[in-house]
Amino acid sequence: DEERVVAINDPDLFRYPFVYTSEPEQMVLTDDDARIMREYLGRGGFWIMDDFWGSFEWESMERQLRKILPDAENKDIPRDHTIFHQFYDIDRIIQVPRLAFAFNGGITWEQDGFVPECKGVWDENGRLMIVINHNVDLGDAYEHADNPQYPNYFSGYAYRIALNFILYSLTH
């Protein structure tokens, strides 16, 4: 009924059909953590990553992801993929900024993260099991949806794409 922080090594992890990680570039996974996440994904779990920016943070996230799935290919999710049409039709990826957008003159990017990306990792059967939202901050858009200084344009998009992610995770 409400959000819950679940550690990777918590046995309850397997009770949840999807997990959401904010700022995945900060992860430092042990071999055991990596094994657990590999099992979680292999058993049908779905993982959403969000709120990390630029090449340095991408490389940090990717190093940790390689511990879990050494041969994982991160590829753009095609716009005709069902995840973008589960409930809402999402025809383009929008760069959703952090709250600072309201105070910094309308800058939507951070570091060298100028282009928003929505990438994915598929399993050997073609099931999308990881969504990687890079150079966007969907979490700030959820968090500040009721802040009049934060544009509804970003929050509305963030909620629409999140609903699609959740519905996809529950049906695939």
Per-residue pLDDT reduced to its tens digit, 12-47: 999 999 999 999 999 999 999 999 999 999 999 999
Give the per-residue pLDDT at 13.
96
Q: Within a 10 A sphere around the Cβ of 153, how many other Cβ atoms?
A: 11
Rg (CA), the chain: 16
pLDDT digits (tens, 9 = 90+) for 99-123: 887 788 787 888 888 999 999 999 9
Q: Mean per-residue pLDDT for 4-18?
A: 93
Q: How far apart are CA 39 and CA 6, in angstroms?
A: 16
Q: How confident is the model at residue 54 (pLDDT cuts 50, 70, 90)?
A: very high
User: If you average pLDDT over residues 80-91, what whole number do you get?
Assistant: 97
Distance CA 157, CA 153 (A): 6
Q: Rounded to the nearest 5 degrees, what angle is found at the Cα of 89, between the Cα atoms of 46 and 83?
A: 20
Distance (Å, rounded) from C-alpha 61 to C-alpha 53?
10
